[in-house]
Amino acid sequence: MQLKPCTKCGRPSFYYRAYSGEYLCKGCFVTSIYDITLESIRKNEMIKYGEKVVVGVSGGKDSVSLLYILAKFFKGNEIIAVTVDEGIRGYREEGIDIASKVASQLNVKHVIYSYKNLFSYTIDEIQDYKGKYSSCTVCGIFRRRALDIAARELGAQVLATAHNIDDVLQSYFILLTNGDTERLKSFNPAVERSEAFGIRKVHPFFRIYEKELAMFAMLKGFDFQTVTCPYMQQGIRSEIRDFLNKLEERHPGIKYQLLDTFMQFYSKEHKVEGQYCKRCGWPSKNELCQVCKTIDYLNSNRHKADEQRQ
Ligand code: SF4
Ligand code: ZN
Ligand code: ZN
């Protein structure tokens, strides 16, 4: 199909952005990704001049793109790339190499935080002890904490991660299916409540489609990891992703409409309990935080397995 000229500059276009009705050439498409990201940051006061920003960089297309954009446009801020090493042999090594290479090209400091050092277990090692939990459940609990620890230890005011609109909508639908109305009220996909010692957790890509981030990373010629994790579950999240993509195909722009509707659930007044875990001291809704509970559970399963072996 012959595309019309670029709506913005009249040059030959390469992409029809159905949700806005625009034809875009490569240059205008790249500029539009910068514009949407920078507008999200500005409108939601994600990053202030001079603040130290830790960026979670897995080595995938989204996080590499985020690091690039922040390093390019936030010269008045110290940007530090942090990669979480889950301890997944044959998978994580490549992501670490890519993150480290990209950080060095951008002149950004790169630090690695490993589950093994922080929590005594790698994701490979929990396979025999995870019981009722999936690898991704444990990994998600550990990752949030690992990034919080990194941001705190590195003295950052901001922790930026590369969640895109598709990630955000999938999370909303999961909250809906779980009937988690409390979380719906406290979930702000732009800036998360700073429970972890005042660190602002921001998602500058929350209004960008996953598909367009992939196109952006390819057009910019970034090196990024494409191999998927061997423990990746094809659970309800991927079914919701397919469902939303089908809807978007037939009704361009519906993802934006859904995002705007869901965001109305957010209530600034919603109070988060100001409690702390009695063991590790991190913010927690209960006496023991989820990380400590998970480690206890893994330890107890390991203990049982050791006893059976003897
Ligand atoms: Fe962790 Fe699951 Fe992601 Fe693998 S797919 S890195 S186990 S969250
Ligand atoms: Zn153009
Ligand atoms: Zn704890």
Average pLDDT over residues 13-22: 97
pLDDT computed for residue 198 by the predictor: 83
Return d(Cα 134, Cα 140) in angstroms, integer: 10
- Please write the tens of the pLDDT for every residue from 231-267: 987 678 889 999 999 999 999 999 999 999 999 998 8
Return d(Cα 133, Cα 300) in angstroms, integer: 14
Average pLDDT over residues 152-165: 97
- For the whole model, what pTM was predicted? 0.95
Residue with tokens 């998600």: 140
Which residue, among 144, 161, 174, 142, has the nearest Cα to 238 in the 3D structure? 174
Residues above pLDDT 90, as percent of the chain = 85
- Please write the tens of the pLDDT for every residue from 116-146: 999 999 999 999 999 999 999 999 999 999 9
Q: Which atom of ligand 1 is nearest to the CA of 228?
A: 5
Return d(Cα 93, Cα 101) in angstroms, integer: 12
* CB under 5 Å of ion ligand 2: residues: 6, 8-9, 11, 25, 28
- Please write the tens of the pLDDT for every residue from 272-301: 557 899 999 998 889 999 999 999 999 999
Q: Retrieve residue 54's tokens.
A: 């830790």
Nearest CA to ligand 1 atom 7: 136
Average pLDDT over residues 183-196: 83
Question: In 10 A of CB 206, how many CB atoms?
Answer: 25
pLDDT computed for residue 195 by the predictor: 61
CB burial readout 97-117, b (16+ within 10 A) else e: ebbbebbeebebebeebbbee
Q: Retrieve residue 112's tokens.
A: 């690695």
pLDDT computed for residue 270 by the predictor: 62
Return d(Cα 72, Cα 106) in angstroms, integer: 8
Interval between CA 188 and ligand 2 midpoint (Å): 33
Whether 74 has a pLDDT exceeding 80, the answer reads yes
pLDDT computed for residue 235 by the predictor: 76
Whether 194 has a pLDDT exceeding 80, the answer reads no
Domain boundaries, the chain: 41-272, 275-310
Q: Which atom of ligand 1 is nearest to the CA of 139?
A: 1
Average pLDDT over residues 198-216: 96
User: Contact 60/225 with Cβ under 8 angstroms?
Assistant: yes
Measured over the CA atoms of residue 68, residue 108, residue 60 and residue 258, the dihedral's sign is negative
Average pLDDT over residues 297-309: 93
Between the two ends of the chain, the Cα-to-Cα distance in Å is 69
Nearest CA to ligand 1 atom 2: 136
Give me the residues paired with residue 84 across strands: 113
Return d(Cα 49, Cα 217) in angstroms, integer: 26
Average pLDDT over residues 181-210: 89
Whether 101 has a pLDDT exceeding 90, the answer reads yes
When comparing pLDDT for 198 and 231, which is higher? 231
Which CATH superfamily groups domain 41-272?
Answer: HUPs (3.40.50.620)
pLDDT computed for residue 268 by the predictor: 75
